Each structure stands twice: as C-alpha cells, then as structure tokens.
Amino acid sequence: MKHAKKDEFFDEVKRWSERKHRLLGKYLPPFTAKVGSWAHEVYCVDAFAGAARYDDGKEGSPLLMAHLSDTAAAWSNPVTLRLVNIEKKPSHYKSLCEATAPWVERGIVINKKGSFGDKVTEILKDIGTRPALFFLDPYGPTKIYFRCLLPILNRRVSATELIINFNAYGLRRLGNLLHTQSRQISENSVEKVVNHVTSIMGDDGWKQDFIGDEFDNNQREVRLVERYVGTLHKFGYYVVAYPIREAIGSHPKYYLLFCSRHVQGVTLMNSFICEEEDQMLDEDTSDNLPLFMSAGVRQSAQAVEDRRILLRDYFEEYLEQHRRTTRGEIRQHVILKHFGRFHDKDFTKVAQDMVNEGVLVTGHGRKRFNDSEPLTYVPPSTGESKLRRRS
C-alpha cells in the first residue's frame, strides 16, 4: 500500500504543485541569465525528479527545466543550462529517461539512478565550480537528511542557490511522538523517530518546542520552519520561507524555502511570490464574482490600501534606526522580515508618498528617484504621519 500511495503522487498535478513549478519556472531564467553572463554554463539539479510527466500528461519539473534550457540556448547571449536529475524508484527512473531522451542525446540532461544522499558528492564533483541551483522537492517529509545538504551548503561558489520543499506538517506529526503516551508505540520506536527528525533538522534543538504544552500543533510547525531557516542561515545564506497552500487561508501543505547568498535573489523571488498570491486570490474568488470583473477589481482597493498602510509602518520602524538610507535598502530589510507580503508597486508607492510629503528627502532634491538614490528621513511630529496618510 505504501508504494501505491507514492504512485498516486503522479496521477495528476495538484494546484499547489503547479504553483511550486511556476515559481521554479519564473526564477530559473533570470538566475541563469544573471550568472550566465560570466559563467556561460549553469547547472540545475533536480534532486527528486520523479517520473518527469504526470499520468494526466502534464509535465513535471525535469521537462519544465529542459524546455527552459532550450530557451536559454536561444538567447541573444546564449547560456548553456545543464540539468541533472536524480530518481531512485525504477519505474519513475524509466519514465524520466524516456521523457528526457532528446536532451540526454544533446548532452544537456544527465539522469542518475539512486538517492539524493548517495549521489550528491558525485554530482558536486561533476559540476565543479560552475553556478548551480538545487531543487529539492521530495514526496514526503523524511527524504532530506541535513548531512546530505552540507556539501552543497559548504560550496565556495557564491552562485549556489537552493529551493527546498520543507514539510513542516509531516515533521510535526513525527515530532509529536516525543510526548506520546500510547502503549501501542514502544520507547525504542519513539527514539528512532525522534532521532530521524533530528537527522532532518540538523540538530536536536527542536525537541524543546515539543516537550510540554507551551505550543500547539500550528505553532510547532512554525517553530520547525524558523529553526530550520536559522540553521541554513548559519552557512551564509539569505533564507526565506513561503507557505505552499491549496487556497488563500488554508493550512500550508509545506513550505518552500529559498536560499541564496545574494539578497537580490530574495527580492526577485519576492516579486514572483506576490504574483502567485495574486493569482491564488484570483482563482479563489473568480467563481463568486461577475465575469466582467477584472483581476485588478477582484483584489479590492481597500486590501491594497491596508497593505500599504502596514508597509508604511515598517518603513518608519526602519527609518527611526536608519535616518540616511535608500529605497533599495528599505525594500531588502522589509522583504527579509516579511517575505512575500508586499509587491514592488507597494514599495514604490509608499516611498513616493513619503517623498511627496517631505518625510523623505532625496539627495538630488527632485521628486523622482530610483532604488539607489540617497534618502534622508525627516520625522514628522507625533501622530502626524499616520493621520496624514489616512486622511
């Protein structure tokens, strides 16, 4: 029965899987173009490639990336995007090889049969010092031991990025065994599961969040994400987390963690995340609204205004500590703390409003400015700022 459940994963692509694949498809081209401007050859590693195609005919991540490699090769400044797929299950590996055969013949795709943990050292040796993005998207919460990530995290190549499917829900369910009182589960079995979670998390600090009743299940999942992000951050990466959900307001299926050594990568991914949030809102509301309404109408003007009022508060919090700064620095600070919540247009509008009000003064004295223009904060009198922007 366990094997049947795994096969069901490839019956048809789920809405949340489509969202995840769209994000990969949006981010990989600019990443490839950016690093390809000096490297000319870029790698993308799909660590849990699967069958490459769902039973309903839709393409999985290996084919998505293969088509992107064709696009990169046709750019005015062409870049060679090479793909490495890893798959352990024989039936999925067979399907993977058949689906990617045209790219394998051209030397663009390499398929490796085995597990990610067994193949990671071999793959890193083949890649050498070339830029690489690693897409780690297992079918469940128990497939990525932290020790297997270490060779990637310790790469000295600055253009090393990771997108990780972190299943906080599945890990939390395993972690809950730490305080189980069920007589049906032996102490030895509990110990094995607990050690298993520790191997995935990278250390046993997570245990303190599961002993006692300080946190409920939802809070424990958030704590797992925060701890995992914190551990990844120690290796010199900017790390942000985005909850992949079926719909607005639903519980996360898992979290997509994005790791980059360059903050510009995080701000770019933030833009794509906001696009996905808008599309998800559009999908969730389209059945309940008249057909003539556009996507812009569906997202109410009040919701946008409320979001920008909140962003203004975050601006002012930062500016109280940094009287001289730039819009780009404010944007980076807010995105790292509140990833996926604010659009580029929100940052532009709030900063422009503050310049128009005289709360921010540009270095050149003009109203129009870019992300790198020096800005000086002129604090308004108490209560004046919030009153001004709500009037």
Per residue, the 3-state secondary structure of 37-77, as one string, reads HHHCEEEEEECCCCCCECCCCCECHHHHHHHHHHHHHCCCC
- Whole-angstrom distance, CA of residue 73 vs CA of residue 343: 31
pLDDT value, residue 16: 72
Tell me, yes or no, whether 242 and 307 share the same domain: no
Structure tokens at 117: 């943990």
Angle subtended by helix axes 217-233 and 187-201, to nearest 10: 50
Residues 316 and 167 in one domain: no
**What residue numbers bound the domain in which 23 lies?**
2-274
Would you tell me the crossing angle of helices 168-175 and 187-201 to the nearest 10 degrees?
Answer: 150
Regarding whether 214 and 320 lie in a shared domain, the answer is: no
- Give the per-residue pLDDT at 348: 97
Count of domains forming the chain: 2
Q: Are residues 179 and 210 in contact, defined by beta-carbon separation less than 8 angstroms?
A: yes
Q: Which helix (H) or strand (E) holds 217?
A: helix 217-233
Which residues of the chain are modeled with pLDDT < 70?
A: 1-13, 140-142, 180-184, 284-300, 382-391
Are residues 314 and 266 part of one domain? Answer: no
- First vs last Cα of the chain: how many Å apart? 62
Which pLDDT does position 9 carry in this prediction?
Answer: 43
| pLDDT reported for residue 227 | 97
Single-letter residue type at 58: K
Q: In terms of domains, do 255 and 301 share one?
A: no
Same domain, 107 and 203: yes
Distance between CA 43 and CA 69 in Å, rounded?
10
pLDDT for res 216: 94
Please tell me the predicted confidence (pLDDT) of residue 109. 98
CB 266 within 8 A of CB 242: no
* 15 Rama class: left (phi>0) / alpha (psi -120 to 50) / beta: alpha
Q: Are residues 231 and 301 in the same domain?
A: no
Q: Are residues 270 and 311 in the same domain?
A: no
Which CATH number covers residue 157?
3.40.50.150
Q: Are 193 and 174 in contact (CB under 8 A)?
A: yes
Helix and strand totals (H; E) in the chain: 16, 10
Q: Are 141 and 170 in contact (CB under 8 A)?
A: yes
Sequence length of the chain is: 391
pTM of the model: 0.88
CA distance 321 to 352: 20
Please give the backbone phi and psi of residue 260, each rounded to the nearest 5 degrees, phi first: -145, 150
Whether residue 195 is found in the same domain as residue 129: yes
Task: For residue 1, give the 3-state DSSP assignment.
Answer: coil
For 229-279, strand residue ranges (E) read: 238-244, 254-260
Same domain, 268 and 357: no
Q: Are residues 333 and 240 in the same domain?
A: no
The answer on 200 and 81 residing in a single domain is yes
- Which of 364, 357, 366 minimizes the C-alpha distance to 377? 357
Say how many C-beta atoms besides its own lie within 10 A of residue 1's C-beta.
4
Are 274 and 266 within 8 A, CB to CB? no
